Amino acid sequence: MKRNIWKLKNLLICCFCLLLMLPCLAFGELELHFLDVGQGDAAVILCDGSVMMIDGGKPESSQMIYSYLTNTLGIDHIDVMIASHPHSDHVGGLSAALNACRTDVIYTPLYYYNDTVFLRFRDMAAERNMNFVMPLAGTSIAFGGANVSFLAPYKLYGDTNDNSILLRIDYGTTSFLFTGDAEIPEEQEVLSANPDALRADVLKVGHHGSSSSSSEVFLQAVHPKIALIGVGAGNTYGHPSSSVLKLLHDMDVELYRTDLHGTIILHSDGSTISVQTARAPESPESVYTLTWAAFLETEADAHSAAAYYVGNIKSMKFHTPDCEGAVKMSQKNQIRFETREEAIQAGYFPCGTCKP
């Protein structure tokens, strides 16, 4: 009798332990590698034995992409490849990924885009008898133990960035939002169609932190705990913009940037997310250092004020009115700023020649 009670007690303890272990048994691990590919985006996500790749950086990243997939991760198969949009800083290295790995499916928002880098990628896919699949907003696919929902594009825009695939990955209670280079019009589209779908723990910040993306209302809807920016050190676009950094800073977001942290690896067990980086920035504050504002603050006194300033909406540079860059600028690309502070606030950075 005593022996039976002892057995029953042991059985109950076992059952209790199993119950405690259930959440761990239900979820394995999701590992997100946000690769340092300089000015561009590339991410590889491993989830319960399945592999997804979202963008592959510029063509110059090809060797790095090939070696990361085959040597670092030791994989030869990609279940889902996403080309967020056809720009070369996103699809450039995807050809190398196709060379390195058998790939099951490629999602992209456009079948055709007149650019040699994209067309080479398309040809390589065709050689492998692969068709591009355009994901429909509102649909989802299973990926390991995770669920991937396509949130956009809803319609095609004239601006290629605004055709970016916006998707979220839900793994247990953790969530990740990828935005490609979506700019404010596409953000608005998702905000009005499905605002509740945006809230996520991790945000891959749109368009390398450019001020043409990440409106305050969009960031508030996502309300990320962690943000990732794929950006090259000293890039000529002035990415990430001071205005986006300020918004993230004011929202207390933990920010990781490939120019400062190198490759960033996130782990999720379905309930918590931990972060590992290839290197640490010189100081925690430097993560939010306003790329050009810091430079401008030290240089500010050396500049004499001009009557007004001319910004280029394409290059996001601003010039004094007499600078060759302003004189030769086509009228439709011009924006006028009354003060240099106004230009900096708007995310523009100073021309290296006229040093406004």
Amino acid at position 1, single letter: M
If we measure between CA atoms, which residue out of 287, 290, 286 comes closest to residue 347? 290
CB 197 → Zn ion: shortest distance, Å? 22
Residue 181, interface with Zn ion (CB under 5 A)? yes
Rounded to whole angstroms, how far apart are CA atoms 172 and 118? 35
Quick one: how far is CA 224 from the chain centroid?
A: 13
| Helix locations, 27-109, DSSP H | 62-67, 88-91, 94-100
CB 254 → Zn ion: shortest distance, Å? 22
CB 54 → Zn ion: shortest distance, Å? 12
CB 117 → Zn ion: shortest distance, Å? 12
Of 45-53, 81-89, 137-145, 267-275: span binding Zn ion (CB under 5 A): 81-89
- By CB under 5 A, name the one of 61, 161, 210, 268 that touches Zn ion: 161
Considering only residues 259 through 298, tell me which ones interact with Zn ion, judged by CB under 5 A: none
Between 181 and 259, CB nearer to Zn ion = 181
Of 62-70, 103-111, 154-162, 278-286: span binding Zn ion (CB under 5 A): 154-162
| Encoded tokens for 193 | 């169609």
Considering only residues 83 through 142, tell me which ones interact with Zn ion, judged by CB under 5 A: 87, 89
**100 and 51 Cβ atoms separated by less than 8 Å:** no
Asked if omega into 321 is within 30° of 0 (cis), the reply is: no
If we measure between CA atoms, which residue out of 240, 237, 236, 251 comes closest to residue 213? 240
Nearby residues of 188 by Cβ (< 8 Å), 6 or more positions away: 215, 218
* Strands of the sheet with 317-319, listed across from one edge: 334-337, 309-312, 317-319, 349-350
- Residues facing residue 82 across a β-bridge: 54, 107
Considering only residues 215 through 244, tell me which ones interact with Zn ion, judged by CB under 5 A: none
CB 40 → Zn ion: shortest distance, Å? 6
**166 and 185 Cβ atoms separated by less than 8 Å:** no
Q: Is 262 left (phi over 0), alpha (psi -120 to 50) or beta?
A: left
Between 87 and 204, CB nearer to Zn ion = 87
280: helix, coil or strand?
coil
**52 and 85 Cβ atoms separated by less than 8 Å:** no
Residue 162, interface with Zn ion (CB under 5 A)? no
Between 31 and 159, CB nearer to Zn ion = 159
CB 312 → Zn ion: shortest distance, Å? 17
Half-sphere exposure of 327 (CA within 13 A, CB side): 4
Of 71-79, 160-168, 274-282, 324-332: span binding Zn ion (CB under 5 A): 160-168
CB 334 → Zn ion: shortest distance, Å? 22
Of 2-10, 27-35, 180-188, 252-260: span binding Zn ion (CB under 5 A): 180-188
Between 27 and 118, CB nearer to Zn ion = 118
Between 170 and 181, CB nearer to Zn ion = 181
Residue 61, interface with Zn ion (CB under 5 A)? no
Between 27 and 113, CB nearer to Zn ion = 113
Which element (helix H / strand E) includes 5? helix 2-26
Between 181 and 186, CB nearer to Zn ion = 181
CB 210 → Zn ion: shortest distance, Å? 9
Total residues at the site for Zn ion (CB under 5 A)?
Answer: 4
Q: Which residues bind Zn ion (CB under 5 A)?
A: 87, 89, 161, 181
